[in-house]
A and B are shown apart, each in its own frame.
Chain A
Amino acid sequence: MADLRTGVAGLKMENPTMLASGILGQTGESLLRIVAEGGAGAVVTKSIGIEPRNGHGSPCLIESDNAMLNAMGLPNPGIDDFEKEMIIAIKSGAPVIGSIFADSPDKFAILASKMEKFGAHAVELNLSCPHAERYGLDMGSDPDTVRGIVSAVKRAAKIPVFAKLSPMVPDIASIALAVQEGGGDAVVAINTLKAMKIETELGMPVLRNRVGGLSGPAIKPVGIRAVYEIASKVDIPVIGVGGIRTGQDALEYIMAGATAVQIGSGVHYRGINVFRKVCSEISESMDAHGYSKLDDIIGLAGRAK
């Protein structure tokens, strides 16, 4: 049996799968279940902001060919109410990564220091949500802005800082480099791609917000390319996310250079224990190819002639 234990920026994980931000993860009990029943090696919370927020109207999540579109709009109870969820979530024993969003470096810093106080093992900066004005990608498309946010958060909190990036920039590796220069501990790639669906029977967009973010199998090749480019440019670890349903999908990310992977839409396609399934598929494939530990294959494709 291949050894699937891994670590990202000092966080010890039993396996390389994490729950991606935005999927379940709004309550402590849901995060506990993702670890206990789902088998995730770590969990990322829903993105939390300074104030409570209801999010966009519905429909906010729809299925498309080989993909899902969502325009949740960052619904969250606000950082102060989230403390009681964190108290429950950290009982899981696995690392709990607090995802946060804000529209200024100062607010990111406040959120990170509160997450640290609540027991988060790391924070993940949402610099990539493509459908919430002033937030997400609006804070994550310029290297100077990204460097400024990351360094402000690093000054405010001692826990590792991850930055989740969007593929909707001309050069994602240069944004990743800004994360590293700001003192960031890991890069997470990718978030959803801005997308739209029109109902031809009615001649109108289906999502209430009109545009949303595309996730699921359709975006995997974009994620693989992004992780490959980032891993070639930075020294900090990369966490791969986007369209992972199977162990083979995860292996592709790992061979592109990812130290760990996140799964989101996969929870819909294969159920809450998708993490356990993916791990056993990774393990089988590694055994079949004679790899004994993840380090043997992380970034393998980058070393290929």
Chain B
Amino acid sequence: MMEIVTVTKIINETKNIKTIKFKFSKKPEPGQFLMVWIPGVDEVPMSISFSGEETGITVDAVGDATKAIHALRPGDKIGIKGPLGHGFKLSGKHILAIGGGTGTAALALAIESAISSGSEVRLAVGARSSDCLLFCTRFRELGVDVHVSTDDGTEGHCGFATELAEALITERKPDQIIACGPESMMAAMVRIASKHKIPIQCSLERYMKCGLGICGSCQCGKYTVCGDGPVFDGKTITGIPDFGKWKRDPGGRIVKF
């Protein structure tokens, strides 16, 4: 059932990314998502970046729905379905997280959960540029060992977050890898994880209409991202022919990455 919530806070995270916070009656598992209804505009899937006293989503303004989310003010009402889907299942004392762009938001609760249960977390985070990097201070304050890469070299390693991640693996092998970001990044990470024989879980994103496992718009191989995912383990993901290669448009036509 949908719950109507009131926006309490808007936080500017980077020049294009905002966090919207609200009071929500339910508590998510790390990696679960919400369907967020912006009345009169659209309903879109959003990963949960904050939980606790207030729940939060962290949004890059890229389309009509996300621009409408950016235009929200405290006191505005939005509709929330969820928490939905299956999240990260953390195991081991040493986690390597890899996040690309706003994908990093989907890792936030898993990273918090790992830290609070006494695990060590190293994070390789990638962004286009230094002013697009998300949550670096938040994670450092938690005690996460944060390693940064940017496409333009304005901060940290100039290049891919996967290169950073592989260097970190070589330095010391983690018990588990969790990843969220562009699918090309995750596909590369799955290959690296397989080469080093490390279990990996990835959070996938697809165009999604219903969020309830019914309409099939977010079909990825034989799975629905909303009902079976959004987090899939490496073994499952390797068996999905779509992974890293194509997604589907709102009508169901194949769109190659």
- Which A residues lie at the B interface, using CB under 8 A? 22-27, 29-30, 32-33, 46, 52-55, 57-63, 68, 70, 72, 75-78, 81, 199, 201-202, 204, 206, 208, 265, 267-268
Contact = CB atoms under 8 A, between A and B. Distances in A.
A268 B214 contact: yes
Nearest to A81: B253
Contacts of A27: 216, 219, 248, 252
Chain A at the B interface: SS class: loop
Contacts of A268: 212-214
Contacts of A208: 42-43
A64 to B, nearest CB: 8
Contact of A206 (B37, B248, B253): B37
A26 B39 CA distance: 28
A118 to B, nearest CB: 15
Contacts of A23: 214-216
A54 B251 contact: yes
Nearest to A24: B216
B217 interface: yes
A93 to B, nearest CB: 16
A46 B209 CA distance: 15
B77 A72 contact: no
10 closest A-B pairs by CB:
A61-B210, A58-B43, A54-B250, A24-B216, A77-B252, A201-B4, A33-B222, A59-B43, A26-B216, A77-B253
Contact of A60 (B210, B213, B241, B249): B210
Contacts of A70: 210, 214-215
B201 interface: no
B62 interface: no
A114 to B, nearest CB: 16
A24 B219 contact: yes
B1 to A, nearest CB: 5
A75 B222 contact: no
A75 B215 CA distance: 10
B40 interface: yes
B102 interface: no
A23 B210 CA distance: 11
Nearest to A33: B222
Contact of A72 (B4, B35, B212, B215): B215
B215 A60 contact: yes
Contact of A201 (B35, B77, B216, B251): B77
Contacts of B55: none
Interface centre among B39, B210, B222 (most CB of A within 10 A): B222
Contacts of B221: 29
A204 B37 CA distance: 12
B79 interface: yes
Nearest to A215: B214
Nearest to A63: B1
B221 to A, nearest CB: 5
A76 B219 contact: no
Interface string B17-43: 000000000000000000101011011
A204 B214 CA distance: 24
Interface centre among B43, B219, B221, B252 (most CB of A within 10 A): B252
Contacts of A81: 252-254
A265 B250 contact: no
Interface string B33-72: 0010101101110000000000000000000000000000
B216 A78 contact: no
B224 interface: yes
Interface centre among A58, A60, A72 (most CB of B within 10 A): A58
Contact of A76 (B209, B241, B252): B252
B209 A60 contact: yes
Given A26-B252, A29-B222, A76-B252, 18 more contacts: A23-B214, A24-B216, A24-B219, A26-B219, A27-B216, A27-B219, A30-B216, A46-B216, A52-B252, A59-B37, A61-B210, A68-B214, A70-B214, A72-B209, A77-B248, A81-B254, A208-B42, A268-B212
A52 B2 contact: no
Contacts of B216: 23-27, 30, 46
